[in-house]
Amino acid sequence: REYHTYDEMLAELQAIAAANPDICELHNIGPTVQGRALWFMKISDNVAVEEDELEFKYISTMHGDEPVGAEMCMYFINLLVNEYGIDPELTELVNETEIWIMPLMNPDGNAMGIRYNANGVDLNRNFPDRVDDPVNTPAGREIETANVMNWNFLHQPIFSANFHTGALVANYPWDHCFDPQANHAYTDNQDVLLAAAETYSWNNPPMWNNNWGSFTNGTVNGVDWYQISGGMQDWNYHWMGDMDITMEISNQGWPPSSTLPGYWEDNRESMIAYM
């Protein structure tokens, strides 16, 4: 399996939505700097109706040169659609949850093979930050960041994850704290977030067995690892009431496409169990 280009990914998403109109709806939430659309696939029973259901989201590849998560999201969308009505657990997830999946948050950077967006900005340093940028506004931010923020203002996911590569660990909030020397910073929901991180890691044996440095069973508190300002997960948690975990799913940033089926084998149960 090769990595998707943006156009290939869009064509596949459109085909899936067209073939499964009862449970799939493709949403364009706005453009990128270079005019590509940002696409969310919504998967739910009664997909056209705004039901009183829990909302969940997966977002990947806000760093354009970290595309493994985008492929995992495509595998996962196909899994949910293909197993709906067949696999009881997946059928129940679709029936009882409003699922939103954005495989590619930075298609411009991905097309250029770079981390940043087309303006040279790291989107995971561009969100409001409770420590040093505490105004929850999209004004003045990159268009990709603003589009994701505006989507979130209209929705209320209570749990989410965003996918990266470059390490093998589930990184949970906080990523930034008021003490630059702190060696950890926990939220009020530390027990829940740690349990969620461990759920993902436990189902991904290479991650679970990663106890490098400050990692414990493939999990780490963001501040304990390294602090960043403007990260998406802290913004989701602090302002949106959304427990968001940053999933680093490959030590290699952009591994050969021949390894993708193996990564899917590692992440498949994790993506189900975490949701």
Token pair in block for residue 98: 């409003």
- Of residues 53, 248, 265, 269, which has the active-site annotation? 248
124 CB-side CA count, 13 A: 22
Conformational region of residue 254, where left means phi above 0, alpha means psi within -120 to 50, and beta covers everything else: beta
Closest CA relative to residue 241, chosen from 183, 172, 138, 156: 156
d(CA 259, CA 240): 35
Token pair in block for residue 177: 């704290």
Count of residues making up the chain = 275
d(CA 103, CA 40): 8
d(CA 87, CA 93): 10
25 is known as an active-site residue: no
d(CA 144, CA 230): 14
Report the catalytic residues: 248
